[in-house]
Amino acid sequence: MALPKIDIPIFEMELPSTKKKIKYRPFTVKEEKILLVAQEANDPMQEIMAARQVVSNCIIDEDISKFAMFDLEYVLLVLRSRSVDNTITFQIKDPDTEETIELVIDAENVKFMEYENHTNKIELDGTYTLFLKYPTIEEFSTIVKMDEGDPLVNYFIMISCLNYIASEDEVHNFKDYENDDIDAFMDNLEGSVIQKIQNFFETMPKLRHEMKYKNKEGQEKTFVIEGMRSFFI
């Protein structure tokens, strides 16, 4: 006689970037193993792959390849809270004393950090406006693979944010153009526009939480957790 199959409840959440409601199931032992293996690897690329696999397994009827990176982070946080419990215990090393500090974080206290000056619209002139988008998981994975010292990293980050240019009469989607066309467009942008594109990326919403602790010398310190580091520290 086969073992019984246990029904898993279905829940609903709202994606931060689009406010779209999506359905999901809690993760199981299978998904916990995926996260544990990635945690042991201590490799950013492995962490992204694990997060993507877990979210893909648990989200129902959605293409997560189009999710913004902070959507993935948020979904993983909700899954972690719903599937296990809210508390995550981990250890860090104090940079001054080298002592091991144990910290406990409540996942429900990890909130989105949003900037008031964040916008996806950049006026190019009196006619055209540039609209930006959030890099997808696929694009972010490419960024992580790149050498931090490669001068093309910042350029790739910028072009991954390009969505379309619009005027009152026409719309130009960047996905419809070749890389050479996009390169030529970027070469002709003023420095102020480039700075605004960089600002868009830097001020994107993200999971962030500050934790206070004291080391053995009585010094009060702040440990900052951002993004998926909440799950792989």
Task: Decide if 1 is inside a domain.
Answer: no
How many domains does the chain contain in total? 2
20 with 99, same domain: the answer is: yes
Domain presence at residue 214: yes
* Residue 47 counted as domain residue: yes
Q: Let me know whether 167 and 62 are in one domain.
A: no
In terms of domains, do 63 and 175 share one?
A: no
106 and 213 both lie in a single domain: yes
List the beta bridge partners of residue 175: none
19 and 51 part of one domain: yes
Does 90 lie in the same domain as 53? Answer: yes
Helix-helix angle 152-160:179-187, to 10 degrees = 100
Does one domain contain both 193 and 209?
no
Residue 170 has pLDDT above 90, yes or no: yes
Is 49 within a domain?
Answer: yes
23 has pLDDT over 90: yes
- Residue 228 is predicted with a pLDDT of 65
Q: Quick one: what percent of the chain has pLDDT higher than 90?
A: 28
Domain of 94?
Answer: 11-113+205-232
- The pLDDT assigned to 151 comes to 74
197 burial level (CB within 10 Å; 0-12, 13-18, 19+): buried
Average model confidence (pLDDT) for the chain? 85
Do 77 and 137 belong together in one domain?
Answer: no
Q: What is the pLDDT of residues 118-156, one digit of tens each?
A: 899 999 988 999 999 988 888 877 777 777 777 778 888
Average pLDDT for residues 102-129, to the nearest whole number? 85
Q: Residue 151: helix, strand or coil by DSSP?
A: coil
Q: Looking at residue 82, what is its pLDDT? A: 81
> Side-chain half-sphere of 61: how many Cα atoms within 13 Å?
6
Domain assignment present for 5: no
Tell whether 35 is covered by a domain: yes
Whether residues 76 and 33 share a domain: the answer is: yes
Same-domain status, 83 and 36: yes
Q: Higher model confidence: residue 109 or residue 178? A: 178
Which residue would you say has higher pLDDT here, 77 or 123?
123
Q: Decide if 216 is inside a domain.
A: yes
- pLDDT digits 0-9 by tens, 36-68: 888 787 777 888 888 889 999 999 988 888 888
Tokens of 121: 């619209």
Residue 169 shares a structural domain with residue 188: yes
Residues 192 and 222 in one domain: no
Per the DSSP assignment, residues forming a β-bridge with 60 are 23
Residue 132 lies in a domain: yes
d(CA 84, CA 86): 7
* 19-31 average pLDDT score: 89
